[in-house]
Structure 1
Amino acid sequence: MALRWYSTVVESTDHRALAGWWAEALDWTVAYASDLEVVLVPAWAEELTEALPFHRVPPGLVFVPVDHEKSGKNRLHWDFAPHTSENRDAEIERLVGLGAKVIDVGEPQEATWTVLADPDGNEFCVLSARDA
């Protein structure tokens, strides 16, 4: 038996706003929203979920409210990569235009990734373009 990666939960002092930011950044869909949580899923996943076996359904992102601000560096972060047919630098500019910030966490000069933070300060990376 294997577990299915069901979701990643992100705490925020404004869970609705942060979920909206990530929905736009990833082009994902709000599957459920309440005062207790906002659930995002890839748009294509909604179309396929009924047809996929339980263990093949992709994970979602769940945003929940908390009273405290983020403090310190994340111990877990997301890596995102554009396809080789896309302009990586333009994608980083788009994310910054949405409210992300390019940050320095001590990555090496020759790093093939760029570290950013979402509007709540959660770190994530945009990797070099990939084709698989």
Structure 2
Amino acid sequence: MAMALRWYSTVVESTDHKKLARWWAEALGWEAIFETDEESVLVPPWALELSEKLDFHQVPPGMVFVPVEHEKSGKNRLHWDFAPHTSDDRDAEIARLVELGATVIDVGQPADATWTVLADPDGNEFCVLSSREQ
């Protein structure tokens, strides 16, 4: 097998990295496993128990939030896509995210898009896709 890299984490810069990490932990139902003045680390709760059983390359990525002095400017060139399961209420999930502090935004998506674009409290774009089985 060819050597491959493990997607270890996604790093997000923020002027208040602890607050934004707590927001994402609530939004995703993830756990903060480390928090200092230099970084806050989130992982899926099931990843902690599975990481000991999985091969290194199969362990899912986490999210790392780090402090910066500057505010976000411009549209992200990279964003997350999240999908609800078909048994979930997609509209209720979007409403929950908005209640937590997300904003529904327009980045030029078509009017009949099957996804909804939102921004987290720091303005980082992400999408809630149509519901799916897999």
TM-score range (shorter-chain normalised) is over 0.9
- What's the TM-score once normalised by structure 2's chain length? 0.98
Shift of 1:47: 1.0
Q: Which runs of 4+ in 1 moved over 4 A?
A: none
Task: Give the corresponding residue for 2:127.
Answer: 125
1:51 aligns with 2:87: no
TM-score, L = length of structure 1? 0.99
Q: Give the distance between the partners of 2:83 and 2:69, measured in 1 at CA.
A: 32
Q: For residue 10 of structure 2, give the secondary structure of its aligned residue in structure 1.
A: strand
- The answer to whether residue 118 in structure 2 is matched with residue 88 in structure 1 is no
Corresponding residue to 1:35 among 27, 37, 44: 37
In 1, the alpha carbon distance for the partners of 2:54 and 2:35 equals 24
Match of 1:114 among 116, 129, 133: 116
What amino acid is aligned across from residue 124 of structure 1 in structure 2?
A: F
The gaps in structure 1 that reach 5 residues or longer are none
Give the total of aligned pairs: 132
- Per-residue CA deviations over 1:56-114 (Å, capped at 9, x if unaligned) read 00000000000000000000000000000000000000000000000001100110000
Q: Which runs of 5+ in 2 are unaligned?
A: none
Name the CA distance, whole Å, in 2 between partners of 1:79 and 1:110: 17
- The residue aligned with 1:100 is 102
Shift of 1:31: 1.2
Q: Which of 69, 76, 83 is residue 67 of structure 1 equivalent to?
A: 69
Distance 2:15 2:133 in 1: 36
Structure 2: distance between partners of 1:52 and 1:35: 31
SS at match of 1:104: coil
Q: Percent identity?
A: 77
